Structure 1
């Protein structure tokens, strides 16, 4: 039996991909007849809530996840949803202990969106709370009721590296994306001189400027592309490595061919108009940017690194796959894609075909079927 009341728990309205994912899931649940759904966040102003007028947003009114335990416990005690889906990893731990503190009957189905051992040891190695959180996860997760991983590598890492008990019910469900909204927004005009007619082909990535994304590999590969043909590289996103990446472009003397305008609220027009969309991450969960690029009909190139990127392209069926961390092979793949219009068109068509696998109703049904299995 499907739940009557569902809660999702995440950081905040400004949380980017998680906010979009949460909103898409709630809309999907509602289409399936479950109207009582709450999106719980740490803090949200009235203005932020107005950005999602169709979503019931519950603010815990705290500034940091560390302080969310008691407010979430009060919410679970007062409203007692049938199930709560926290995201990402540290919110899983909070939800588990909040439920126990509240004495609620709510099922806690955790969601994992990244390769946690790498995320903790590399991306967050200087943040002690996050670096040692996998140890807390190891001993907390058995008190939850199930785990949804966005890729098989995510669950494998959870069991083999984080040492979470393999006896917890687990399943793989990819992220959902709002295909109709993405395709509508993709038709809106974009403002960038490189997309005028008769300009050089544009290579695009949308990523946080962080260690995980290995944008240095992309920049070095792009510098080799320029030795063969004219092209441009557009990097949409913000993050702590911006200065380092700008310095690398200057060092390689390609800064005039690389644009990093920062975060763009609507990247879909760029995805629809680029010649090739590229990811170079050292690891990924289920990269929503790649799923969104599929919905825009972008030809894609991804690495074979740990995580779900290679799964999303089905190992070459829906996009090209290259060895991770090799600028030379990546450059050759980008040149091949740029110089062969038929190959581009082939992968554009395959991308649109693949995007339908991530329709909200399809993914929401998988969530609810797993909930039923956990309850049985």
Structure 2
């Protein structure tokens, strides 16, 4: 049996981490041995991973320490495949695997638009422009989670676009189970006192554009009895709470905080809204579609338009335009939607399909 090592910083409750656990479960069904290799063994998803897989902690506190820790792991454990996501882990793995473990097949994936993400400093972008093509070329396979992300890798690094494979992130297809144990979440009780229930999900940070959605809600409530719940936590909570107070929207918007599972809320929602300034793909859109929930999303780079097929399966609005967003929300809430069609679109993002695409890359004979 082939062994797959999945390298991550940790197992916090993020999009990449959830995707990796979904893929790991599918790989196991196909007779692969899976290990999670973590810089630090921590995070909300660690318990779930430990229940099914071996977890190896490298004990790395700073990314530069990976230069010593990863070769030790590769030499000792000899994985057949190393699956790495997110720069700079991808770049470091390309170099170290080439030097210390040429027999290990290296699969790297990027999940953000490299040109737009503010986590990439000007120095990093210049570095990638100068050396990125040579670094990524050392991988057996380079994967992007959307066409937009693939384009950004190619544009920034000069790596041939044909060298980059697009595999959409999978979404759990068995997660939309309503909680029937009699417990009523206080947030849901608050939400239920409205004719229209709107949900947004994401970390409270600049990328997600929640300030635009909050402004849009001021217009929405002039026409409809609607309440918005935002699931997520982050450094902008104070700023967003102040905005809600200043717009006198405390009765219409609730920052409910992080929830381990958003699916009970999605099942009860009339509309999902993504207000991001940028994305890699936008997994939460697919989660909403899987539940048959209509979507309004910004037409940001990159992902939403790809998932919604240019607006066929949801409304797309300009980035940062609160009035357009408000009008789209009102129109969508007043419209009748084909929930079966939304669910059918989501089937393209099932874990088994994504895993099959990855496993094709595992078998590719390209040598570094």
Q: Do they superpose with TM above 0.5?
A: yes
Q: Counterparts in 2 of 1:339-358, with a 5 A limit? A: 339-340=334-335, 342-343=336-337, 346=338, 348-358=339-349
Q: Pick which of 20-29 and 59-68 moved more.
A: 59-68
1:69–1:97 Cα contact (<8 Å) kept:
no
Please state how far the C-alpha of 1:201 moved relative to its aligned partner: 1.4
Q: Map residues 165-244 of structure 1 onto 2, 5 A cutoff.
A: 165-166=159-160, 169-180=163-174, 182-184=175-177, 191=185, 192=187, 193-196=189-192, 199-244=194-239
Cα deviation for residue 54 of structure 1 reads: 0.8
User: For each residue in 1:128-172, what CA deviation from the matched residue of structure 2 results, as whole angstroms up to 9, or x when unmatched?
Assistant: 886766456455222222211010110111111x22421772111
- Residue 95 of structure 1 corresponds to which residue in structure 2? 93
The RMSD of aligned alpha carbons is: 2.5
Closer, same or farther: CA 167–152 of 1 in aligned 2, 3 Å: closer
For residues 8 and 164 of structure 1, do their structure 2 counterparts lie closer, same or farther at Cα, with a shift above 3 Å needed? Answer: farther
SS of structure 1 residue aligned to 2:363: helix
Q: In the alignment, which residue of structure 1 is the partner of 2:157?
A: 163
Alpha carbons 1:236, 1:264 under 8 Å: kept = yes
Instruction: Give yes or no for contact 1:301–1:321 (8 Å, CA) kept in 2.
Output: yes
Which deviates the most, 236-245 or 151-160? 236-245
Distance (Å, rounded) in 2 between the aligned partners of 1:71 and 1:190: 46
Are 1:187 and 1:269, in contact at CA under 8 Å, matched by a contact in 2? Answer: no
Q: Is the 8 A contact 1:77 1:104 kept in 2?
A: no
Determine helix, strand or coil for the equivalent of 2:278: coil
For the structure 1 residues 253 and 132, does the alpha-carbon distance in structure 2 shift closer, same or farther, using more than 3 Å as the test? farther
Distance in 1 between the 2:226 and 2:45 partners? 39
1:269 Cα shift? 0.6
In proportion to residue count, which structure has more helix? 1
1:51 aligns to 2:48 (yes or no): yes
Local SS of the residue matching 1:116: coil
> What is the deviation of 1:296?
2.2
- What SS class does the counterpart of residue 89 from structure 1 fall into? coil
**Partner residue of 2:115?**
117
Aligned match of 1:288: 283
Note if 1:256 corresponds to 2:251. Answer: yes
1:40 aligns with 2:37: yes
TM-score, normalised via structure 2 length: 0.90
Alpha-carbon distance in structure 2 between the residues aligned to 1:179 and 1:40 = 26
Aligned length: 362
How far apart, in 2, do the equivalents of 1:335 and 1:48 lie? 36
Per-residue deviation, 1:66: 3.0
Displacement of 1:280: 1.2
- Alpha-carbon offset, residue 349 of structure 1: 2.5
Aligned residue among 263, 266, 269 for 1:268: 263
- TM-score when normalising by structure 1: 0.88
Aligned partner of 1:80 in structure 2 is: 78
